[in-house]
Homo-oligomer: A and B are copies of this chain.
Amino acid sequence: MLNDTAAPALGVGMVGYAFMGAAHSQGWRTVGRVFDLPLSPAMRAVCGRDPAAVREAAVRLGWAAAETDWRSLLARDDVQLVDICTPGASHAEIAIAALDAGKHVLCEKPLANSVAEAEAMADAARRARDRGQRAMVGFNYRRTPALALARHMVREGRIGTLRHVRVTYLQDWLVDPEFPLAWRLQRDQAGSGALGDLGAHAIDLAQHLAGEALTGVSAQTETFVRERPLPGGKDGTGGAAGAAYGTVTVDDAAVFNGRLASGALASFEVSRVAAGRKNALCVELNGTLGSLSFDLERLNELHFHDQTQDAAEAGFRRIQVTEENHPYLEAWWPPGHGLGYEHTFVHQARDLLHAIADDTDPSPSFEDGLRVQRVLAAVEESAAKNCVYTPVLN
């Protein structure tokens, strides 16, 4: 058999193998097949608590081995990078242990379930960096080519001074009141609801695209459906038939506004009860020289309005971000042959491998994740305090 590649291998171990684990696996499997890489990821082992299920996942997703204890995964010499795809409640413990064990770390978003955890993680990452380790948080949407192009255009000054950033992230899987009380609806596991899940992306993108931090927020959150059936259905108590219900302890939706450091206004709305909106992450930036607009449901497109053009010919221009010189596109297909959601994970893997090889800090870093966490905390504080404008402590 042919040697797989000239690039030295980097052993990867992944914790968790549900939705995010499958998406990350697709990233690790594919990245070396399309991009030129300085390090070749070797998918050494995946880890989960259920021995049969994790073994089946390993076979399915392409991992060479299965582990049932993440500490064992961290103990493996053939693993240099730990990819954490578990619910938020376990991020801090695993990530800090992995960093302390000398591993590079990729951690799914949100970084943690609390600012305290996120601070501990960022501290651990700082210490590890001095030892040459890298830590990245998985705000994968930054690596949608259209949003990478948007960031590039903002940095180049194409929209001038920012006035507004506007992010809505709407889904509808909780419209049905009989949708069960899954882990994402429980505060002890998920930290928060739409806020931490969707709002974390929204906040990260706003700060990343604008290139500046939120300095404060005013917020409302709401849980419209407060009781939901417990997963597993009927209560089985022998009494009257019927599902057992439990209390939803996270938000269904959050609306909040804020300010960026420059004084630009930021507005956010996230919801899991917006009927008909499946994964509608819409971002718009308005500046003095132009505007940019994006909708994740049409992720290969970026809309750009150039305010410096003659008004008689100006208008939002639908850029199909599929040209060879667009971000990440040198590796893919000819113009107009669009990419999908999962490609963001391939790009994330690519950029992390480069950062490790180049000894540079990956972006988004744990610091970036912490910054998002602080905004999330300010949102919840404002919502609890009658919407009062709440500074984000940085």
Contacts and interface: CB of A to CB of B under 8 A. Distances in A.
Interface of A: 1-5, 19, 22-23, 25-26, 29-30, 33-34, 55, 58-66, 149, 159, 163-164, 166, 168, 170-173, 175, 177, 218, 220, 222, 224, 252-253, 255-257, 259, 263, 265, 267, 269, 271, 273-280, 286-291, 296-301, 304-305, 307, 311-320, 322-323, 325-326, 333-343, 382, 386-389
Contact of A255 (B29, B267, B299): B267
A236 to B, nearest CB: 27
Contacts of A280: 336
A335 B278 contact: yes
27 contacts: A2-B59, A2-B63, A2-B64, A3-B59, A23-B333, A33-B60, A170-B286, A220-B259, A220-B265, A255-B257, A256-B257, A275-B290, A275-B291, A275-B307, A276-B286, A276-B307, A277-B291, A278-B336, A279-B322, A279-B336, A279-B337, A304-B315, A312-B323, A315-B319, A338-B340, A339-B341, A340-B340
Listed from nearest, the 10 A-B pairs whose CB atoms lie closest are A279-B336, A278-B336, A276-B305, A340-B340, A218-B387, A337-B341, A387-B389, A317-B317, A315-B319, A278-B335
B265 A4 contact: no
Contacts of A64: 1-2
Contacts of A173: 334-335
